[in-house]
Structure 1
Amino acid sequence: MVPVNGIELCVETFGEPGDPALLLIAAASSSMDWWDDEFCRRLAAGGRFVVRYDHRDTGRSTSFGPGPPPYSDVDLAHDALGVLDALNLRRAHLVGLSMGGGLAQRIAVERPHRLLSLTLIASSTTFPPYALSQVDAERRWSDRRCAVEGIVSATRSTGGPFTAEDQHLRRLAERVFDRTQDMTAARTNHLRCAAGPPVSDRLGEISAPTLILHGTLDPVVPPAQAEAMCAEIPGSRLVWLEGVGHEYPPMAVWAQVIDEILDEAGRRTQPA
């Protein structure tokens, strides 16, 4: 647990502190558990000091209780920088997924000196990329069985043929539930979160080497948005993940995703 911006965030690291830092920024309503342990270890084996953390209102980090939260996406982006500060990391390779990609874009535009490289997975220029559904708003997230079923169902609905089997997803959902202070807040607050000043019209200012990874079957962020984002960010590369939906990289594409991330990060290897 580390103090960040007047709250506490739960942080975990993999690898050697002397290696260039790589910060994983999770999607909305997601604790760091969604960045699979083995996925993190493989990134670290590539010579990166990998950092993952629980957003506020997820996992063990500070929870504000259910309802419109007293923070915006600007605060969530500042939390990511606060994690780096708490670990005495001046710069890092940023890897953001979905909403996490939006936060990484904001950092790349507003704090470019903190980046070594930028990787955007299943990302969009819209914050958040999807709204709170009536079903999610009414689900009994405080009930473990109901919450686990809801997480598995939501993951399956936006995934693809490579999404993990239900048994694996259920174990993950149980871990998420057991680590989370307030599951209702975790599943709903980010989707009620206010948006700060948009940065979508400033993507042309991004100077860090940028990689865009996008699933060909993403039902939340249409592939055309990934193409548009690539056209806006100078020198960026767009790599398609065949058969992948709107989800954390499934194991079937880990080798491709890890190789691409390390290759992009390898363009800037000076210590953070």
Structure 2
Amino acid sequence: MTERMVEVDGVELCTESFGDPADPPVLLVMGIGASMLWWEDGFCRMLARGGRFVIRYDHRDTGRSVTYEPGRPGYTGADLVDDAARVLDGYRLPAAHVAGVSAGGALAQLLALRHADRVLSLVLVSTSAAVPGDRELPPPTEEFLRFVTSGGAEPPDTEAVVAHRVAYARMLAGGRRPFDEEAVRAVIRREAERARSVAAARNHELLADGDRPAAPLSSIAVPTLVIHGTADPMFPLPHGRDLARRIPGARLLTLTDAGHGIERADWPVVVPAVLGHQAGTGG
């Protein structure tokens, strides 16, 4: 794997690649407030061994990418969408297969609407429609709402931040499977240690949408795979079903008892599904 900084339109983004640049490219888009480390090394290597050139990157205000003053982000959600295209520009790639988790899945949808020529296929994990629809969907679980409303401001010192984020990850896991606290804590600690500013990641909670495409999800023309856990506390399963219904030809893969995100236990199912999906598009 090779980490490199790319700067496009004056925006500096930290990226990392796995595999052979001659293989079909896959761009991984993480959720809001999270660095690229949540696309774990082992997951990226499995995709690369399947014949993919895998690129992950830190959003603005996460990891080693450009940061802004905490509480005063100088960009919008639309800029985060454009950042995905900027990463492709930095690697001189006209297009890529795109996979997004959580809010990264929403960014991936908007990328397919805003820059349709840059997206070969979509994989949307633990997410919901980025464009309003015609059905009322269930809210997050009571446990999720209790956590986010009672947690208050994130503590200032690193150890307290790690403890807070481990508790959040435990809640997101859904509670139906054993929680691998040691592995999660290692990712969170590494993320905190490499960040330019731990506090800056909270800027993502303050972002305005910016210029959003007016096109409906039904205009997405690339092959789409929706992956959703049955125990997701942030976006209950009907969100994934709705997303698969609204994107023409989309397929839904459900992960029994999985929470929010991609757990290591699901890699043996998710990676072949992703590779097979992308291969079916000619990539």
| Length-normalised TM-score, structure 2 | 0.88
The 3 A distance-change label for structure 1 pair 164 and 48 is farther
Matches within 5 A, 1:77-96: 77-96=81-100
Q: For 1:200 and 1:60, how far apart are their aligned partners in 2?
A: 33
The answer on 1:64 being equivalent to 2:68 is yes
Tell me, what secondary structure is at the counterpart of 1:94?
A: strand
Tell me, what secondary structure is at the counterpart of 2:85?
A: helix
Unaligned runs of 5+ in 2: 132-138
The answer on 1:30 being equivalent to 2:34 is yes
Q: Which residue identity does 1:38 align to in structure 2?
A: G
Q: For 1:162 and 1:25, how far apart are their aligned partners in 2?
A: 25
What is the root-mean-square deviation in Å for CA atoms of aligned residues?
2.0
- Mapped contact 2:28–2:99 kept (Cα < 8 A): yes
The answer on 1:255 being equivalent to 2:259 is no
Residue 164 of structure 1: CA displacement?
4.5
1:267 paired residue number: 280
The answer on 1:168 being equivalent to 2:172 is no
Quick one: which of 206, 225, 228 aligns to 1:192?
A: 206
- Mapped contact 2:78–2:212 kept (Cα < 8 A): no
The 3 A distance-change label for structure 1 pair 200 and 97 is farther
- Mapped contact 1:162–1:251 kept (Cα < 8 A): no
Matches within 5 A, 1:36-185: 36-126=40-130, 133=148, 138-140=153-155, 142-160=156-174, 161-162=176-177, 164-185=179-200
- Mapped contact 1:5–1:79 kept (Cα < 8 A): no
- Mapped contact 1:67–1:185 kept (Cα < 8 A): yes
Deviations 1:183-213 (A, max 9, x none): 1111x11111111345586100000000000
Q: Which residue identity does 1:149 align to in structure 2?
A: A
- Mapped contact 2:29–2:108 kept (Cα < 8 A): yes
The 3 A distance-change label for structure 1 pair 136 and 90 is farther
- Mapped contact 2:109–2:130 kept (Cα < 8 A): no
Residue 260 of structure 1: CA displacement?
1.0
Residue 117 of structure 1: CA displacement?
0.6
Unaligned runs of 5+ in 1: none
Q: Which residue identity does 1:220 align to in structure 2?
A: M
2:136 paired residue number: none
Q: Which residue identity does 2:60 align to in structure 1?
A: R
The 3 A distance-change label for structure 1 pair 41 and 118 is same
Q: Which residue identity does 1:224 align to in structure 2?
A: P
- Mapped contact 1:204–1:234 kept (Cα < 8 A): yes
Q: For 2:274 and 2:212, how far apart are their aligned partners in 1?
A: 26
What fraction of aligned residue pairs are identical, expressed as a percent? 40
Q: For 1:169 and 1:222, how far apart are their aligned partners in 2?
A: 22
Deviations 1:95-117 (A, max 9, x none): 00011111100111121111111
Tell me, what secondary structure is at the counterpart of 1:119?
A: strand
- Mapped contact 2:29–2:104 kept (Cα < 8 A): yes
- Number of corresponding residues: 266
Quick one: which of 213, 236, 241 aligns to 1:222?
A: 236
Deviations 1:210-239 (A, max 9, x none): 000001001111211211111110000011
Deviations 1:136-177 (A, max 9, x none): 55222x411011101101100111344652122211111000
Q: Which residue identity does 2:78 align to in structure 1?
A: V
- Mapped contact 2:39–2:56 kept (Cα < 8 A): yes
Tell me, what secondary structure is at the counterpart of 1:211?
A: strand
Q: Which residue identity does 2:281 align to in structure 1?
A: R
